[in-house]
């Protein structure tokens, strides 16, 4: 990995377990797993009349759904958002918009914000209130929320964490 002015000497990758999910201006409690941010572009095949060479061009972009998982608690943020979709009606006057922008923040080992991605116009397409239960296991009961989205982008205003000597240690 090459060293740049924004990574301030960092040459190793960030760990995948220090993150926060933020929506409606607050951190969502207990999220323990987030699927990856993935986008793909369709390939359009073109051929001019009489030309045997097939040309390839970019087509529509697609953004994969994002899955959030967390242990079940009394916090009802996942369920409340999912309920907005299932009770939404285009004919209802003054119906709340069920779309939200969310933010995925990644932190370094010192607890400093390192990267953030803003995900646009998300809405829940699937909600699992209670995941698989196992009377012989010792794992936590998990709920999940699958979010469709209309794209994401990295927050370029985040220059990266400060050098380790001056870092404070807030716990994300």
Query: pTM value?
Result: 0.79
Q: What residues have CB less than 8 Å from 96, skipping those under 6 apart?
A: 84, 88
11 pLDDT above the threshold of 70:
no
Render 71-90 in DSSP notation, one character per residue.
E--S--HHHHHHHHHHH--T
The tens digit of pLDDT for each residue in 25-44 reads 999 999 999 999 999 999 99
Cα separations (Å) of 60 from 22, 39, 47, 125? 28, 11, 18, 21
The tens digit of pLDDT for each residue in 158-168 reads 987 776 554 45
The tens digit of pLDDT for each residue in 80-133 reads 999 988 887 666 666 568 999 999 999 988 889 999 999 999 999 999 999 888
């Amino acid at each position: 990995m090459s060293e740049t002015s924004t990574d301030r000497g960092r040459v190793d990758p960030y760990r995948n377990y220090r993150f926060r999910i933020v929506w409606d201006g607050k951190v969502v409690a207990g999220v323990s797993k987030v699927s990856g941010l993935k986008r793909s572009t369709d390939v359009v095949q073109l051929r001019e009349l009489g030309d045997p060479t097939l040309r390839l061009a970019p087509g529509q972009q697609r953004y994969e759904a994002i899955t959030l998982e967390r242990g079940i608690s009394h916090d009802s943020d996942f369920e409340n958002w999912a309920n907005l979709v299932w009770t939404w009606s285009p004919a209802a006057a003054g119906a709340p918009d069920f779309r939200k922008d969310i933010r995925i923040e990644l932190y370094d080992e010192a607890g400093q914000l390192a990267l953030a991605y803003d995900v646009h116009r998300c809405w829940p397409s699937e909600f699992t209130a209670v995941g698989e239960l196992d009377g012989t296991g010792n794992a936590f009961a998990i709920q999940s929320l699958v979010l469709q989205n209309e794209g994401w982008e990295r927050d370029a205003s985040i220059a990266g964490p400060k050098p380790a000597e001056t870092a404070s240690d807030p716990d994300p």
